[in-house]
Amino acid sequence: MSFFPIEQAPARLNRSELAVPGSQPQMFQKAAESDVDVIFLDLEDAVAPDEKVQARKNIIKALNEIDWGKKSMSIRINGLDTHYMYRDVVDVVEQAGERLDLIMIPKVGTAADVYAVDMMVTQIEDAKGYGKRIGFEHIIETALGMQNVSEIAAASKRNESLHFGVADYAASTRARTTVIGGVNENYAVLTDPDQDGSRQVHWGDMWHYAISRMVVAARANGLRPIDGPFGDFSDPDGYKAAAYRAAVLGCEGKWAIHPSQVALANEVMSPSAEEVARAEKILAAMAEAEAAGKGAVSLDGRLIDYASIRQAEVLVEKARQIAA
């Protein structure tokens, strides 16, 4: 390991994160009763300009009055380029800051954006005498944000997670797609011709680079990488495939833009019983190997070594967190 220490963000379960528009208070109770790990009450893109003020009031009331149980509660504030943002922070943190765990900053572009919100939140928390610090979730969803993702990830002690906002990212990078997440038939490769001359098309994952880039910045700074929305809520298979791709790359959670996606995210982002059993077997085999003075051994015909211990520990620790 490097001599450079990586401080880990607080261990918060974040397999699923449900987006709930602040302008739809009739949805709040159902969200509170769901199995989701994190809820973000939205003040940004799911709320029309005329509804922003009322949505803020709805959110303050709901944070104070609804029993959200053990869920982590977040608000997505408006972007720093709008005049809504300062009131989102001031009003919600002043009036409902005790039940607020996280603030989600959309379209974050530079480390200075994070600094500005940190300064505001710190002043309010100090003035109110709150005992805890609110954490930050950043949506990486612009070309600028992706370019500066490492600096953003390191910009505040409040940082907890980076989220891939695929819809705005597509718009910002001018990617030729109008769907929210998932694969695109125009991002495809052709196989070599078969003997009869026929060829197959294989679709690629056009988000691979962006998610991987974000995962690296998140993990290098001890943060959780979280995959963002999948718009077609009538396609659970497509959702799960996207979630598995993100999980394989290191993401530990995915957004749900519809309540039906919560169970899918929880399923994909929880290690299966077989994976946990295999990880435990690796740890046991490596403990035995170590006792015998060996650094690497074979298990079921495959090599395992000290790196296998670290991979296995990640899985076992995640299973422990979920069971807690």
Choosing from 109, 225, 229, 253, the residue that interacts with ligand GLV (CB under 6 A) is 229
Closest-approach residue to Mg ion (CB):
168
The CB density around residue 209, as the number of other CB atoms within 10 Å, is 10
Provide the minimum distance between the beta carbon of 166 and Mg ion in the complex, in angstroms, as a whole number.
8
Does 141 participate in binding ligand GLV (rule CB under 6 A)?
A: yes
133 marked ligand binding residue: no
Alpha-carbon span 238 to 233, nearest angstrom: 9
The answer to whether 227 contacts ligand GLV (rule: CB under 6 A) is no
Tell me: does residue 139 bind ligand GLV (CB under 6 A). yes
- Closest distance to Mg ion from the beta carbon of 165 (Å): 4
Instruction: Measure the CA–CA gap between 123 and 130, rounded to whole angstroms.
Output: 11
Amino acid 222 reads G
d(CA 250, CA 8): 15
Residues that bind Mg ion (CB under 5 A): 141, 165, 168
141 is in an annotated binding site: yes
Supply the DSSP symbol for 204: -
H/E stretch holding 41: strand 38-42
What does the block give as tokens for 164?
A: 């891939």
Regarding 42 and contact with ligand GLV (CB under 6 A), the answer is no
Residues 47-106 that bind ligand GLV (CB under 6 A): 106
Interface residue with ligand GLV, options 37, 168, 227, 252 (CB under 6 A): 168
- Report the relative pairing of strands 188-190 and 201-203 from DSSP bridges: antiparallel
The answer to the question of residue 167 lying near ligand GLV (CB under 6 A) is: yes
Kind and range of the H or E run holding 164: strand 159-164
Residues at the contact surface with ligand GLV, assessed by CB under 6 A:
106, 139, 141, 165-168, 228-229
Q: Residues annotated in the binding site for Mg(2+), as ranges?
A: 141, 168
